[in-house]
Amino acid sequence: MKVTGKIEKILETQTGTSKAGKEWKKTSFVVKTEDEYNNLYCFEIFGDEKVDNFLQYNEEGNMVDVDFNVKTNEWQGKYFTSLDAWKVFKSDDSKLNTEVDNDSAKVDNDSEEADDDLPF
């Protein structure tokens, strides 16, 4: 799945030790989209290298595309669902700007054509 939006908040990085004795690290971040409904997502990134890369290249306010999986775990009869981000990259806003510029040019061209249709 994929979502495009602005990083609203990067939460504090969490660390711990697994039952097997391995150290782990994870961070969460909140993305807000421009959708009318259900426009707030909280993603998790798990693993030392992934967390470090994310924190190095991203900050609050960045527009990003997030590829993610929905993951559900069961623990003692309770179910927990998380959005597991596996790829985060800066969104390409230039497409939006180009579309807006093309629309403006189209309106200007229509106005010129209307002037050419005048009988005098």
Give 47-92 pLDDT, tens digit per residue.
999 999 999 999 999 999 999 999 999 999 999 999 999 999 998 7
* Cut 0.85: pTM above it: no
**Residue ranges covered by each domain of the chain:** 2-92
Q: At 94, is the pLDDT very low, low, confident or very high (cuts 50, 70, 90)?
A: very low
pLDDT at 99: 41
CATH superfamily of 2-92: Nucleic acid-binding proteins (2.40.50.140)
pLDDT at 101: 44
Q: Which helix (H) or strand (E) holds 44?
A: strand 40-46
Span 39-52, average pLDDT = 95
Nearest to 12 by CA among 2, 30, 27, 22: 27
pLDDT at 65: 96
Q: How many CB atoms lie within 10 A of CB 109?
A: 10
Residues 6+ apart with CB under 8 A from 30: 7, 8, 9, 10, 11, 40, 41, 42, 43
For 1-35, what is each residue's pLDDT tens digit? 999 999 999 999 999 998 899 999 999 999 999 99
* Spatial separation of the C-alpha atoms in residues 92 and 108, rounded to whole Å: 26
The answer, yes or no, to whether residue 98 has pLDDT greater than 60, is no
